[in-house]
Structures are given as structure tokens and as C-alpha cells.
Amino acid sequence: MSKGSEIITNEISNTMDRSGDQTMDRTMDQTMYQTIDRKTAHLIEMTGICKFYEMGDETVRANDNINLIVEKGEFLSIVGKSGSGKSTLMNIIGALDVPTSGTYLLDGEDVGRMNDNQLADFRNRKIGFVFQQYNLLPKLTVQENVELPLLYAKVSRKERSERAMEALVRVGLESKASNMPNQLSGGQQQRVSIARALAGSPSILLADEPTGALDSRTSIQILEFFKQLNEEGNTVIMITHDSSIALQARRVARITDGTIDFDGKAEDYARII
Amino acid sequence: MRESFNLALKSIWGNKMRSFLTMLGIIIGVAAVITLVSLVNGYMGYMTESFTSMGTNQINVNLMNMSTRFVTEEDMYDFYDEHQDIFIQMTPSVQVSGSVKAGSEQLSSTSVTGVSEEYADMKGYKMETGRFISYPDISTRQKVAVIGYFDACQYFGSPENAIGQKLKINGYAFFVIGVVQRQDEDELEEGGSDDFVLIPYSVACKMSRSSIPSNYTFATKDTSVSEEAADILETYLEEVYRNDDLYTVTAMSELLDSLNEMIAMMSLLLGGIAGISLLVAGVGVMNIMLVSVTERTREIGIRKALGARRSVIMQQFVIEAALTSVLGGLLGIALGSAISIVIGPMLLQTETPPTAGAVIISFGVSVAIGLIFGYMPASRAAKLNPIDALRSE
């Protein structure tokens, strides 16, 4: 987003805040974002995203008409209670699932129309997953774990090794490259997980409760690390149920009962909770 | 593809005990197939060989001569002369029952057969010393005898010593005029292939109850005309006897053919039975693969999230199943071969090396088992929803 449009948007946000109508806030914000920045392609553009399930006779509306725009370089956290629909949204963002209706564009590619193989390739190239439970493969070494996305991208052995080592250097764990995951602490494992996510040079880092399995001290370290990565230019989207964690990001979107009922700066979110 | 291989090997090696137990079914199945088929083939081969040594180009004729319908040896020789294009040798064969004595010693196990001068050629006998029975011996009914190597050594000390010695057959005195070369390289024993006495058939006929031979052996030009030869004989004999109960024509080659058929059937049957155990082994492989897929659901979810396509996941698990089976197959082949080579001679007195066909088929089957029984679990794995998979423990 250009500096100029950013200032304008903020001004309008502030004006809307003063009017006190939150629903208006959201809609106006979105419209402002859209009209002012039409010329610049957004990194993520989600319009009217719906995900409905049939459970017996009932239709569960996990995601109901969600609109979300994310620009390159943002640090966004999506916060919500369990059952709010945040996991469903995350799955759609991460191309693990397709919406029932609505459009999801990432880097200009329409994810909603993709078939299974295309989704797999898309995930591989564009999404850097960081899971709650680190999710490292226990029988592979640290380096082999980090290489995994590159393996599926059909990168040559030599290049794989180089890029994996680069990623490990980035997270400060190059010395542990030949270790097995179970020889590392929780915090180290999570950092390996982040290295794995970075190795493929994805468009976004998508972190699902990244501190969920860590103690508070390590959690702080990891969050600091995310901030650092964001400052280096990575786009980070973090999903969490914990508002205090959510506030570590710069922008917060709250999802309740399948819709986004707050989307704005972290400071503003801090005020309403 | 190579990565999938490496991955599969790692996985198999990482779970040594479980992999081995899975393979065990295949190892046993393959070893069983190979051992049984090789044993059967080896033994039957040995029997065929003994058969063949009797001459596959020979035809045996057995006659029941009646007073009104009979065939004399002259008739037979006439017939033989007429069909020289097909028959190359013929001999009447007249068994003499009674006692054989060399000095005071009784040759209790020795058979005495009256034969023609062509008998030596038909049997492929070469003389150690002396000569074989000749046509003049037959026409003048000389009381001469040709003996086997065993008898020469046993009763006269050596072949050279035997020449000119006397044998008393049913009280009649016969002179030994020749000793046949040793037939059996390994053993010289009573009742073996070097224990026999041959005399002119004309003399044998005189000594036996009927004066005309009732048994003839023909040798054909080669095995391919055996059937034709047998037909010609049958036609001739039919004319004379008019009742096919009174004569029998047996071509050795026919017997050999039916023996070979029987061997093939036996092999197939036994192989099939052992093959059932391979089927069971395959089910075992499938079972373990299903367990493996369930255990690794989370792992599959992670891989998919990171970008693994269904085909890659599929490949990973199918190759793992196939590799397990193939390794089991190879071990089974080694085991089965070892057993055939060791046990065969012990059990059946003959060499029973592993049959090449059984080895190849077993190997092929174990690959197939891995692929077929690995397919379903692999398909399951590939179709897993990554979201659910990631959630599972």
C-alpha cells in the first residue's frame, strides 16, 4: 500500500471510530481499502467467502460472507473463540480447503477454482505453514525436515540442501542440521518449523497457534521472531484464540460466529477488549 | 521416484521387527513354492532319465499266442524286413525262469533272457571282453551266454577270467563268451544294472514252455516316428489276432509323454497349493500397510499441507508395500533354494536344484502382491483430507 493511501485510510478509520458504529466501521474500511487501492494488486483478496456444511438437517455456516484484504508485508492476527470459524478461514487461506462460495485471490491466483493437485502445488509454492504442534517428521533429520517442501517442489538435491541451510541459518539453528527433532527443545523445534516454512520462499507465513505448545518465555521469543521476520518483509498471518497473543501483531481481525466483526489496528483492538 | 524409494527403505529399516514379520508370510510362501516344485521336478526328472535310458525310441510288443492265432519269429522278422525304413532294430525277448549256477554258487537274483544279436546295439552295450551273441549262435542254437560286469566279478573274479567259464542254467551248460562293460558307475550290486545273463532266444524258446517268443522290442529310427511305427504294428497284429486283448503295443515315447504331463500337473498342483499361502501373505502385507497408514495419518497430513500431491503419497506407500514384498520374495527364494539343494538329495536320493521357472514366477508374484495389496492402503492414504489428518493424533 502506498504511504499516501495509508494516511487517508487511517484518517477515515479514525473518523469512523468517532462515529461509534462498528459495523459501519468495517464496511466503510473495506470500501475505502478497495476504492483507494484498486490500482495496486493486493496480496490476498477474499470476497464474500462462505463455507457451509450440512450436518444432518442443519446447515452450519462456518464462514459467512467474509471479506478480507491483506497487503504484502502485513502482520495480521486472526483471533476468535473456538467454534468461531477461524480454523475454517485459516484452511481456506492456506488452500487446504475451498470455499462454498466467494472468491479467494492470492497473488492474483483464484484459489477457489483449483483442483486437488493444483491446491497442493499452490500450497507448496505460496504458503509457509507453521503449526501448533511443530509437526516435524520424527524420523527425518532437522535438515531433511526443512528440505521437505523443496522436495515436493522438485528442487535439485544440491539446491535443496543450500536453501534449507540458509533457512536454518535464518532461525539460528544451522548447528542442529543433522540432529533428530526429538533432540531439540520445544522452542527450537518451532524454529525449525519456521525454517521449513521459509525454505520455499512462500508468499505468506501462515501460523496456527504457533505458541500453543510452548511455555510463556519461549512463546515471547517466538513472537519476537515473527515480528523480526515481518520487519524483514515477510507477510505473517497468525491464527489464535488468545487476544494477548493477537495483540503482538500489527493488525487484528476478530471472527465471531463465522463473520469478521472487527478488523483494524492492534492498538484499537486492545481498547475494545 | 528415487526419493520415494529411499523413503520406503528408511521406513522399512526403521521398523525392522515389524517389517520382518510382515515379510515372513511371503518368505514362507515363496520358499514353499520353490521347494515343492523343485523337489517334484527333480524327482520326476530323475525318473524320466531312468526311463530315457531304456530308450525312448523303443516299442514293446507283448503277444498272447494262441494255437490258431499266432506270430512266429519268422513272421516278425518278415514284418521287420518290410519296414526297414521305420525300424532299425528288433529283438525277441524270452524270459527264462529257473536256476542259474556258477560252479556251486547259486545266482539267485540274476535274470536270464533270450535275445537276438541286435540286443546289444539296442541297449547300447559295449563289450568289456569277449563278444556278444551272434546270428550263427541263434540259428544253430548255441548254448552260449553273455553276462554282466557284476556277475563276472562276483562269480569269476574278473571279466577276463569269466570268458570260457561254465554256467549251468536249469541244468544246461552254457559257456560265457562275453562280458558287457560296466553300466553303473557308482554301485555294483545284486539285482542292479550289471547283473544279468543273456542267451540266444532260440535256445531260450526251447527251454521255456512256449516255443515261440511272446515279447519283442523294436527300435525306431527316431522318437518322432514312434507313433507311426506303433500304428503300423497295431495294424499288422490286428490282422492276425483280430482281438486286441491278445496283444499289446507300448511305445516308450508315449509313456514318457504321459509321464511328463503328469509331472507338469503335479508341479502345477503343488505350486498352486503353495501359492495359496502367498495369497494369505499378501493379505498380511495389506493389513500392516493399513495399520501403517493409520499410524502415519498425521505425517501424511503434514506432507500434504507442505504440497505433496496425492500421487506422491500414493507412490510412497505402494513402493513401501512392493519393496517389503520383494525383499520377502528374495529371502524366500534364497531359503527355498537352500532347502531344495540340501534336502532333496537327502530325501529323494537325487539332486533337486531350484527350478528356474519357479524362481522367476515366485519373484514376479511377490512383486505383484506388493503392488496389488499395497494399492488399497496407499489409495486410502492419498485420499486423506489434510485438515482432518493434521488434527488426528
Domain residue ranges in chain A: 74-96+124-272
H or E stretch covering A238 = strand A235-240
Strands B111-115 and B94-96: antiparallel
Domain boundary pick from B231, B252, B273:
B252
Say how far apart CA B110 and CA B151 lie, in whole Å. 8
**Neighbouring residues of A158: CB distance < 8 A, sequence distance ≥ 6:** none
Residue of B nearest to A146 (CA): B306
Residues of A whose CB is below 8 A from B305: 94, 96, 123, 129, 131
Is residue B79 located within the same domain as residue B227? yes
Q: Collapse the DSSP code of A135 into the 3-class scheme (helix H, G, I; strand E, B; otherwise coil) and give the result.
A: coil
Residue B339 in this model has a pLDDT that exceeds 50: yes
Pick from A94, A97, A120: CB nearest B308: A120
Separation in Å, CA A218 to CA A79, A180, B197: 21, 20, 104
* Predicted confidence (pLDDT) at residue A4 exceeds the cutoff of 70: no
Contacts of B303 in chain A (CB under 8 A): 148, 152
Which cell goes with B22? 510382515
Neighbours of A73 (CB within 10 A): 15
Residues of chain A contacting residue B310, judged by C-beta atoms under 8 Å apart: 116-117, 120
State how far the Cα of A216 lies from the Cα of A222, in Å rounded to an integer: 10
Contact B305 A123 (CB under 8 A): yes
Instruction: Report the relative pairing of strands B105-106 and B100-102 from DSSP bridges.
Output: antiparallel
Same domain, B383 and B282: yes
Q: How many CB atoms lie within 10 A of CB B212?
A: 17
Cα(A32)–Cα(A114) distance, integer angstroms: 30
B368 vs B360: CA distance, rounded Å? 12
Amino acid at A189: Q
Contact list, B5 vs chain A (CB under 8 Å): none
Could A120 and B3 be called an inter-chain contact, meaning their C-beta atoms sit closer than 8 Å?
Answer: no
Banded model confidence at residue B36, pLDDT cuts 50, 70, 90: confident
Domain shared by B66 and B192, yes or no = yes
pLDDT value at B265 more than 90 = no
pLDDT at residue number A37: 47
| Residue at which a domain ends, from B199, B228, B252 | B252
Interface mutation target, options A53, A86, A137, chain B, most CBs of B under 10 Å = A137
State the nearest Cα–Cα gap between A88 and chain B, in angstroms: 10
| Residue carrying the nine cell digits 525304413 | B85
CB half-sphere exposure, B178, CA atoms < 13 A: 20
Q: In degrees rounded to 5, what are phi and psi of residue B156?
A: -125, 0
CA angle, A72 then A73 then A76, to 5°: 100
Indicate if B189 and B239 belong to the same structural domain.
yes
Among all residues of chain A, which has the CA nearest to that of B301? A135
Q: Is residue A51's pLDDT more than 70? A: yes
B1 vs chain A: nearest CA distance in angstroms? 11
Tell me the C-alpha distance between B54 and B266, whole Å: 24
Cα–Cα distances in angstroms (integers) from residue A175 to residues A33, A178, A196, A199, B374, in the given order: 45, 8, 15, 17, 39
Query: How much is the pLDDT for A36?
Result: 45
Q: Which residues of A touch B304 (CB under 8 A)?
A: 120
Residues of A in contact with B9 (CB under 8 A): none
Nearest residue in chain A measured CA to CA from B299: A137
Length of chain A: 273
In chain A, % of residues over pLDDT 90: 51
Sequence-separated (6 or more) residues with CB below 8 Å from residue B346: none
User: First and final CA of chain A: distance in angstroms?
Assistant: 28
State whether B36 and B23 are in the same domain.
yes
- Let me know whether B206 and B78 are in one domain: yes
Residue numbers in B near A151 (CB within 8 A): 3
Same domain as B108, residue B248: yes
Q: Is B296 on the interface with A (CB under 8 A)?
A: no
pLDDT at A19 over 70: no
d(CA A174, CA A33): 41
Flag whether residue B387 sits within 8 Å of chain A, measured between CB atoms.
yes
* Minimal C-alpha gap between A41 and chain B (Å): 25
Band (pLDDT 50/70/90 cuts) for residue B356 is confident
The rounded mean pLDDT for chain A is 84
Give yes or no for B304 touching A (CB within 8 A): yes
Q: Inform me whether the pLDDT recorded for B53 exceeds 70.
A: no
Give the pLDDT of residue B353: 78
User: What is the reported pLDDT for B214?
Assistant: 83
Contacts of B184 (CB under 8 A, 6+ apart): B192, B193, B194
Least confident of A123-127, A261-265, B66-70: B66-70
CB contact under 8 A, B10 and A94: no
Q: Which residue of B has its CA nearest to A92?
A: B387
Q: Which residues from A are below 8 Å from B391, CB to CB? A: none
Domain boundary among B207, B232, B252: B252
Q: How many other β-carbons are positioned within 10 Å of the β-carbon of residue A140?
A: 17
Chain B residue with minimum CA distance to A91: B387
Residue A33 has pLDDT above 60, yes or no: no
The minimum CA-CA distance between A96 and chain B, rounded to whole Å, is 7
Q: Give me the interface pTM, i.e. the ipTM.
A: 0.80
**Mean pLDDT, rounded, for B86-90:** 86
DSSP-based three-state secondary structure for A192: helix
* Whether A152 and B299 lie within 8 Å, measured CB to CB: no
**Helix axes of B252-295 and B356-383: crossing angle, nearest 10 degrees:** 20
Return the residue matching grid coordinates 509437526.
A135
Instruction: List CB contacts (< 8 A) between A137 and chain B.
Output: 299, 302
Sign of torsion over alpha carbons B306, B311, B314, B320 = negative
**Residue of B306, B379, B388 best to disrupt the A interface, most CBs of A under 10 A:** B306
What order do you get walking across the sheet with A109-110 strand by strand?
A: A58-70, A44-55, A101-106, A109-110
- Place B97 in a pLDDT band, splitting at 50, 70 and 90: confident
Radius of gyration of chain A (CA): 19
pLDDT at A35 over 70: no
Q: What distance in Å separates residue B14's CA from the closest CA in chain A?
A: 8
Instruction: Tell me the three cell numbers of residue A258.
Output: 463465522
Parent domain of B328:
2-51+258-391
- Any idea how long chain B is? 393
Residue A128: band (very low, low, confident or very high) from pLDDT cuts 50, 70, 90: very high
> Which of A117, A137, A148 is closest, CB to CB, to B309?
A117
Neighbouring CB atoms inside 10 A of A228's CB total 11
Number of domains in chain B: 2
What's the pLDDT score for residue A147? Answer: 93
B298 and chain A in contact, CB less than 8 A: yes
Residues 6+ positions from A103 with CB-CB distance below 8 Å: A45, A46, A47, A48, A49, A110, A112
Q: Give CA separation, B192 vs B66, B101, B351, in Å.
A: 34, 18, 21
CATH class given for the domain over A74-96+124-272: alpha beta
Report chain A residues whose CB lies below 8 A from the CB of B14: 139
Residues B175 and B268 in one domain: no
Closest CA relative to residue B232, chosen from B104, B356, B79:
B79
Q: What chain B residue is nearest to A121 in terms of C-alpha separation?
A: B307
Segment B83-105 shows an average pLDDT of 85
The alpha carbon of residue B209 and the mean position of all alpha carbons in its chain are separated, in whole angstroms, by: 38
pLDDT band at A113; cut points 50, 70, 90:
confident
Same domain, B360 and B311: yes
Q: Note whether B90 and B175 are same-domain residues.
A: yes
Q: So what's the pLDDT on residue A20?
A: 47
Q: Which of B218, B377, B287 is nearest to B26 (CA)?
A: B287
Residues B30 and B141 grouped into a single domain: no
Whether the Cβ atoms of residue B324 and residue B371 lie closer than 8 Å to each other: no
**Of the ranges A10-19, B87-96, B365-374, which one carries the lowest mean pLDDT score?**
A10-19
3-state secondary structure chain B: CHHHHHHHHHHHHHCHHHHHHHHHHHHHHHHHHHHHHHHHHHHHHHHHHHHHHCCCCEEEEEECCCCCCCCCHHHHHHHHHHCCCCEEEEEECEEECCCEEECCEECCCCEEEEECCCHHHHHCCCEEEECCCCHHHHHCCCCEEEECHHHHHHHHCCHHHHCCCEEEECCEEEEEEEEECCCCCCCCCCCCCCCEEEEEHHHHHHHCCCCCCCEEEEEECCHHHHHHHHHHHHHHHHHHHCCCCCEEEEEHHHHHHHHHHHHHHHHHHHHHHHHHHHHHHHHHHHHHHHHHHHHCHHHHHHHHHCCCCHHHHHHHHHHHHHHHHHHHHHHHHHHHHHHHHHHHHHHHCCCCCCCHHHHHHHHHHHHHHHHHHHHHHHHHHHHCCHHHHHHCC
For B146-181, write each residue's pLDDT tens digit. Answer: 998 888 888 888 888 889 889 898 888 999 999 998
Q: Which residues contact A208 (CB under 8 A, 6 or more apart)?
A: A87, A90, A129, A130, A131, A132, A239
